């Protein structure tokens, strides 16, 4: 089984899923990590929790979303026995804007 962890409606993730399904017999699922907040557990699809008007509720939404993200990452790091295409730890480091600016300045 192949699992692509991304965000809702990510065209790149969906293209990867389509390519894998069309070229192999392996099942491939996209986990929409931003949709987990509205689900009752880890599901392959969910609902988008964006667009909330009430700021307090929005703060709660951000907190719960972060907790779901941490739970999903913990589940993957503790239970996944396959090969990472993008290691989650390295991906998180690479996403750091200050580090990106430093590296960009170093290489011109």
Element (H, E) at 23: helix 11-23
DSSP 30-68: EEEGGGGGGSSS--SS---------HHHHHHHHHHHHHH
pLDDT tens, position by position, 75-98? 888 888 888 888 888 888 999 999
- Residue 43's alpha-carbon distances to 11, 70, 100, in angstroms, are 19, 15, 33
pLDDT tens, position by position, 92-107? 899 999 999 999 999 9
For 66, the token pair is: 């972060």
Whether the predicted model's global pTM rises above the 0.85 cut = no
DSSP 63-107: HHHHHHHHHHHHHHHHH--S--SS-HHHHHHHT-HHHHHHHHHHH
| Cβ atoms within 10 Å of 20's Cβ, excluding its own | 15
Element (H, E) at 7: none
């Amino acid at each position: 089984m192949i699992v692509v962890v991304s965000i809702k409606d990510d065209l790149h993730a969906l293209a990867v899923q389509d390519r894998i399904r069309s070229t192999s017999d392996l099942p491939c699922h996209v986990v929409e990590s931003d949709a987990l907040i509205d689900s009752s557990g880890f599901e392959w699809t969910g609902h988008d929790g964006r667009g909330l008007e009430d700021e307090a509720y929005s703060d709660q939404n951000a907190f719960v979303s972060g907790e779901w993200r941490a739970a999903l990452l913990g589940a993957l790091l503790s239970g996944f026995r396959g090969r990472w295409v993008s290691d989650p730890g390295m991906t998180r480091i690479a996403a750091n804007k200050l580090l990106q600016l430093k590296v960009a300045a170093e290489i011109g």
